[in-house]
Amino acid sequence: MKKLKSWLASANTLDCEFPLANLPYAVFSAKEQSHSIGVGLGDQVANLRMLEEAGLFDDLSPSLRESVRQSTLNPLMGLGSDQWGALRQRLTALFSHIEYKEVVEPCFIPQADVVFHLPCQIGDYSDFYTSVHHASRVGALFRPDNPLLPNYKWVPVAYHGRASSIRISGEAFKRPAGQLKVPESDRPALGLCQRLDYELELGIFIGTGNSLGEPIDIDEAEQHVFGVSMFNDWSARDIQAWEYQPLGPFLSKSFFSSLSPWIMPMAALAPYRCHWTREASDPQPLDYLDSATNRTQGAIDIKLEVWIETEKMRANNQPAERLSTSNFKDSYWTIAQMVAHHTINGCDVKPGDLLGSGTQSGPAPEESGSLLELTAGGKEPITLSNGEQRTFVEDGDRIILKGYCGNEQHRIGLGKVENIVKSGNSHLP
Amino acid sequence: MKKLKSWLASANTLDCEFPLANLPYAVFSAKEQSHSIGVGLGDQVANLRMLEEAGLFDDLSPSLRESVRQSTLNPLMGLGSDQWGALRQRLTALFSHIEYKEVVEPCFIPQADVVFHLPCQIGDYSDFYTSVHHASRVGALFRPDNPLLPNYKWVPVAYHGRASSIRISGEAFKRPAGQLKVPESDRPALGLCQRLDYELELGIFIGTGNSLGEPIDIDEAEQHVFGVSMFNDWSARDIQAWEYQPLGPFLSKSFFSSLSPWIMPMAALAPYRCHWTREASDPQPLDYLDSATNRTQGAIDIKLEVWIETEKMRANNQPAERLSTSNFKDSYWTIAQMVAHHTINGCDVKPGDLLGSGTQSGPAPEESGSLLELTAGGKEPITLSNGEQRTFVEDGDRIILKGYCGNEQHRIGLGKVENIVKSGNSHLP
């Protein structure tokens, strides 16, 4: 793969996650200025509103020019893949041809100098459950005699999530309270969550929507997807275990969820598509979840990582430590299948809607995307290199999720989502 | 109870659901004009923007005056109960004192001449499960050996719902498709829902929200509630039965849900509050779900009804037929308990968020708020007075949900939500 070079030096270094081949979107502000749409390049953010005002999009469509001047990505998301392609092509030209440097460079600001915000207004958030390895390992903990339910290999299982409590990377949050019931007691009690967990997920943003009652065909599904982010679906396992039957998880999920600032466009992922395959023993998908394109390139090779930095590590200036790795290509269901399934009943999706991939765990136990799996439901603590032990997340822990595609020579990154857990309310109602 | 009279004759008739004691809110438009906030009185809608422009709110707060000029109720909802009270007091004066008639009457338009719209932007929708009678009867169908799960009498069980597919009364919708699996087959197939059902619910609208991480105390909970509507949580029982484990209902609910146009303010419900009691054998609620006020007046006497009008009835000019009645006072959990529970984990609620009460069924089997219950899971068809039979909802059926408080002399109504089911997509993907 020949690597296109930018006139911006920081975009061409070997360890750069934001080369020309990436161009992820974000919403940011600097020095109390208004929120702007930005595109990441090297260690900089390009302010799209300033690029537009500099006349660099004058020959693009009026709707596209208007959309990049907004303070959220929703209008751009709603324009569709042709317009996203036109903008990406223009940005690639502006950032690679040296003659644009003089006019473009004043529209850059260092990433280190900005504050990131949620990239769009998230109307609805749905969380899938696409890792069969996660479903099997968690199922074995909750239902030892029946780990993988009969519908799993037919239905891309998902539930409606809470949009209001989704925040951007960097925000700290309080340990939640809720009803907890231990097996030894015959009644629950209100208390602070004792089994706080992360979930290593991709966030998938809908671009163009559909009309109520009109399903999206699997072969058109990805044209409705704007891009992907890192997503942590924070979970209170003890609250979940008591509340989740028969209608699914509720307060165990709605206290806080977090997104990385960057949305990597689907176009950037093109070189990392791969075959989506099933085990010979697995059923083939129903027709509405099947297509030749989905089979040959439905999966995506995205490397995922979980890191932890405890309060003690910070106090001792120790670096964060990696807890696990996995890969989105091991997902049992693809992005196109998620979108086709979500709309098969006529449900309407809208620009800015978020789909969580579900916890991405690989086939090996050490490729688990949650502590619930890594510690066998809290029964087998893990020991960190400084001697600290963890069964679940403790106050002061910072959890960092990262994702990237490629190798040491060619890499594009999704950035990271990181949050510190604070102690909960000391005076419960 | 002395009944305050309006100078508008239609507001004082015995069968009027919108007397001065009600004053429900809606969003409407007439003759292609813009969306306006309206208040129902008799057979009229008062246009609040016009009342404001006529100077009738000049001494009210600037934020209140601004909020009633908007095209959705969200800004008014966010102002809080003191401001809602000030507006209600003013409207009561304007509509009752004859000296205002000349200036107010031009701001009225007949309800029959307007189109209603969703009253607000619904950020998040959560659906509760507060009828123990519904939970027990449905539980017995899905889990004969374990109808009421152990958490039910402790946890106000709920799940996150889909906001995008909520529509206003009057819209028709297509029968949804989805994965169906009959017990006789070892594999599912894509097909049109064969077990389409309604759910008789109250819609509860959040007014003022809370900050993430800050629970709402049960004694303050109702100050955060703007009002209530009729709500039909349409359900595809066959899709639900196959998809719902382990994460709860998803596509079985997200194809269409519908709201009545009117939001009855909580202030109008004050005369209909009643004791909330538990059976002696039931556990007392945990402290965060308990308060003296909630015990003495947490419940509300709201009469609920389901009606059906089949295609054949319409063709023969037969009136709609009542299928069942129930009462919200039989709910196992109160509105204040729903709000306190929803936020105990720190989840933030926002102006315009919707809580569904869950299907309201009474203790007697004929007080069932769904066909699933009325027909024992489709095994015992009901026979209508024209001889037609129903197990579930058929194409062409119009389902009408109504709600009201009071008796023949003093009645305030929630209006109705009604929709016709159309045939589904004939060409499935």
Report pLDDT digits (tens) over B271-306: 999 999 888 999 999 999 999 999 999 999 999 999
Say how far residue B95 (Cα) sits from the centre of its chain: 26
Q: Is A152 on the interface with B (CB under 8 A)?
A: no
Contact A393, A192 (CB under 8 A): no
Task: Considering only the C-alpha atoms of chain A, give the largest distance between any 2 of them, rounded to a whole number of Å.
Answer: 74
State whether residue B213 sits within 8 Å of chain A by CB: yes
User: What was the pLDDT predicted at A429?
Assistant: 61
Residues of B annotated catalytic, as ranges: 134
B405 touches chain A (CB under 8 A): no
CB contact under 8 A, B242 and A341: no
Q: B125-422 has which CATH code?
A: 3.90.850.10
Chain A touched by B429 (CB under 8 Å): yes
Residues 79-118 of B with CB under 8 A from A: none
For residue B249, give the nearest of A127, A189, A247 by CB distance.
A247
A192 touches chain B (CB under 8 A): no
Higher-confidence position of B46 and B2: B46
How far is residue A392's CA from residue B93's CA, in Å, rounded to a whole number?
Answer: 59
For the cut 60, the answer to whether the pLDDT of residue B1 exceeds it is no
Mean pLDDT of the B130-143 span = 93
Three-point CA angle B253, B257, B259, nearest 5°:
150
Say whether B288 counts as a known binding-site residue.
no
- Whether B233 has a binding-site annotation, put simply, is yes
- The predicted structure's pLDDT at residue B317: 97
Give chain B positions within 8 Å (CB) of A346: 165, 173-174, 176-177, 255-256
B247, B349, B429: residue with CB nearest A288: B429
CA dihedral angle for residue B39, residue B45, residue B49, residue B54, rounded to 10 degrees: -110
CB contact, 8 Å: B126 with chain A?
A: yes
What is the pLDDT at residue B19?
97
Contact B346 A287 (CB under 8 A): no
B177 touches chain A (CB under 8 A): yes
Distance CA B257, CA B355 (A): 13
Q: Among residues 280-299 of chain A, which lie with CB inside 8 Å of chain B?
A: 283, 286-288
Report the topology of domain A130-422: Fumarylacetoacetate hydrolase; domain 2 (3.90.850)
- A127 assigned binding-site residue: yes
Residue B173: pLDDT over 60: yes
Given the residues A117, A133, A134, A341, the one annotated as active site = A134
Are A429 and B151 within 8 A, CB to CB? no
Question: Which residue has 């009469």 as its token pair?
Answer: B303
Q: What's the start-to-end Cα distance of chain A, in Å?
A: 60
Q: Judging by DSSP bridges, how do beta strands B173-174 and B411-422 pair with one another?
A: parallel
For A257, the closest chain B residue by CA position comes to B347
- pLDDT given for residue A425 in this prediction: 83
Q: Which residues of A touch B356 (CB under 8 A)?
A: none
Which tokens go with A225?
């997807």
Across the interface, of B151, B160, B428, the residue whose CB is closest to A160 is B160
What's the pLDDT at A76? Answer: 98
Rounded distance between C-alpha atoms, residue B198 and residue B92, angstroms: 36
Residues of A in contact with B142 (CB under 8 A): 246
pLDDT digits (tens, 9 = 90+) for A264-311: 999 999 999 999 988 899 999 999 999 999 999 999 999 999 999 999
pLDDT digits (tens, 9 = 90+) for B90-102: 999 999 999 999 9
| Residue contact B155–A213, C-beta within 8 A | no
Report chain B residues whose CB lies below 8 A from the CB of A188.
151, 154-155, 286
ipTM associated with this complex: 0.97
Is residue B288 within 8 Å of residue A192, measured between CB atoms? no
Listed by start position, the domains of chain B span 9-117, 125-422
Question: Which pLDDT band, with edges at 50, 70 and 90, does A144 fall under?
Answer: confident
Q: A261 in contact with B at a CB cutoff of 8 Å?
A: no
Residue A201 annotated as lining a ligand binding site: yes
Which tops the pLDDT comparison, B81 or A1? Answer: B81
Through-space distance between the first and last CA atoms of chain B, rounded to whole angstroms:
60
Question: Could you tell me what percent of chain A has a pLDDT over 90?
Answer: 93
**pLDDT at position B32 over 90:** no
Query: Quick one: how far is CA A415 from the chain centroid?
Result: 10
User: Minimal Cα–Cα distance from A345 to chain B, Å?
Assistant: 5
Residue A2: which pLDDT band, with cuts at 50, 70 and 90?
low
B253 is in an annotated binding site: yes
A-chain residue closest to B256, CA distance: A347
Contact at CB, A347 and B167, closer than 8 angstroms: no
B245–A244 C-beta distance less than 8 A: no
Q: What's the CATH superfamily of B9-117? A: Fumarylacetoacetase, N-terminal domain (2.30.30.230)
Type of residue found at A96: S
Across the interface, whether the CB atoms of A246 and B142 are under 8 A apart is answered: yes
**For testing contact with chain B, the best of A126, A160, A182, A193 (most B CBs within 10 A):** A160
Three-state secondary structure string covering B408-419: CCCEEEEEEEEE
Only one residue has tokens 């701001």, namely B107
User: Which residues make beta-bridge pairs with B115?
Assistant: B29
CA–CA separation, A341 vs B62, rounded Å? Answer: 47
Residue B2 pLDDT level (bands cut at 50, 70, 90): low
Does A272 appear as a known binding residue? Answer: no
- The set of residues, in sequence order, having a beta carbon less than 8 Å from that of A102 and lying 6+ positions away, is none
- The amino acid occupying position B356 is G
Mean pLDDT calculated for residue range A235-259:
97
Look at A248 and B243 and tell me if their CB atoms are within 8 Å.
no
For residue A246, is the peptide bond before it cis, meaning its omega torsion is within 30 degrees of 0? yes
Q: How far is B403 from chain A (nearest CA, A)?
A: 26
Q: What is the mean pLDDT of residues A356-367?
A: 97
Q: How far apart are the C-alpha atoms of B260 and B267, rounded to whole Å?
A: 19
d(CA B202, CA B262): 12
Mean pLDDT, residues B32-43 taken together: 95
Q: How long a stretch of residues is chain B?
A: 429
Q: Please state whether beta strands A354-356 and B264-265 pair in parallel, antiparallel, or not at all (unpaired).
A: unpaired
H or E element that contains B297 = helix B292-297
User: Around B253, how many Cα atoms within 13 Å sit in the side-chain half-sphere?
Assistant: 26
In this complex, which of A252, A283, A429 lies closest to B288 when CB atoms are compared?
A: A429
Average pLDDT over residues A147-151: 94
Between vectors from CA A208 to CA A202 and to CA A214, what angle results, nearest 5°?
A: 105
Q: Please check whether residue A6 is in contact with residue A82, taking contact to mean a CB–CB distance below 8 angstroms.
A: no
Which positions in chain A touch B217 (Cβ < 8 Å)? 429
How high is the pLDDT of residue B407? Answer: 87
| Mutation for A interface: B187, B208, B247, B253, most A CBs within 10 A | B247
Measured between alpha carbons, how far is B75 from B69 in angstroms, rounded to an integer?
A: 10
- Angle among Cα B293, B299, B301 to the nearest 5 degrees reads 135
pLDDT class for A408, splitting at 50, 70, 90? confident
Sequence-separated (6 or more) residues with CB below 8 Å from residue B164: A123, A124, A212, A347, A348, A349, A350, A353, B254
With CA atoms as reference, the chain A residue closest to B127 would be A247
Would you call A196 helix, strand, or coil by DSSP?
Answer: strand
The SS3 assignment for A258 reads strand
Residues B324 and B93: their CA atoms lie apart, in Å, by 38
The verdict on A134 touching B (C-beta cutoff 8 Å) is no
Tell me if A344 and B190 make a contact (CB, 8 A cut-off): yes
Spatial contact of B346 and B209, defined as CB atoms under 8 Å apart: no
Give yes or no: A117 in active site.
Answer: no
Q: What is the mean pLDDT of residues B367-382?
A: 97
User: At A263, which amino acid appears?
Assistant: I
Model pLDDT for residues B45-103, shown as the tens digit of each residue: 999 999 999 999 999 999 999 999 999 999 999 999 999 999 999 999 999 999 999 99
Contact A250, A243 (CB under 8 A): yes
3-state secondary structure of A300: strand
- Closest chain B CA to residue A121: B123
Using alpha carbons only, give the angle A356, A360, A364 rounded to the nearest 5 degrees.
170
* Residue-averaged pLDDT of chain B: 96
Q: Is A325 annotated as a binding-site member? A: no
A2 annotated as ligand-binding: no
Reported as half-sphere exposure (CB side, CA atoms, 13 A), residue B249 has a value of 25
pLDDT band at residue A1 under the 50/70/90 scheme: very low
Q: Check whether B152 is labelled as a binding-site residue.
A: no
**Is the CB of B162 less than 8 angstroms away from the CB of A347?**
yes
